[in-house]
Amino acid sequence: MANQLDSFFAALADPTRRAVIERLARGAAPVSELHAPHDMALPSFLKHIGKLEAAGLVRSEKKGRTRIVHIEAAPLKEAETWLHQQRALWEGRLDRLQSLAEALERKPS
């Protein structure tokens, strides 16, 4: 039953991984370039890339001895949709409460 949202959100719950996504949103890049700004050993960094890839947020392919990483937008959209639905539900409820309050105000018992 563990929804794919599990791994999507878990993948985004880490600042290193969000930074990678932010970088990749501006275009694909090889691992070495993605790694450069992060003060962390390469193997540790590769684990993050692995999580992103396992969550389907990212794709990668080997070109010669370098590995190019691309973002995958569909899961971002799915997560965004879930969040939006919850918010819409909640805000819809607030609207209805407000209507109720106004109705009660117009017609006090």
Catalog residues that contact DNA under the rule CB under 7 A: 10, 13-14, 16, 30-32, 35, 39-44, 46-48, 51, 62-67
Q: Are 10 and 57 in contact (CB under 8 A)?
A: no
DSSP code of residue 40: S
What is the size of the binding site for a second copy (CB under 8 A)? 34
* Helix segments in 55-109, DSSP class H: 73-106
CA–CA gap between residue 80 and residue 85 (Å, rounded): 9
Selection from DNA, a second copy, none that 104 binds (CB < 5 to 8 A by kind) is: none
| Chain residues in the site for a second copy (CB under 8 A) | 1-3, 5-7, 9-10, 12-15, 18, 21-22, 24-27, 71, 73, 76-77, 79-80, 82-84, 86-87, 89-91, 93
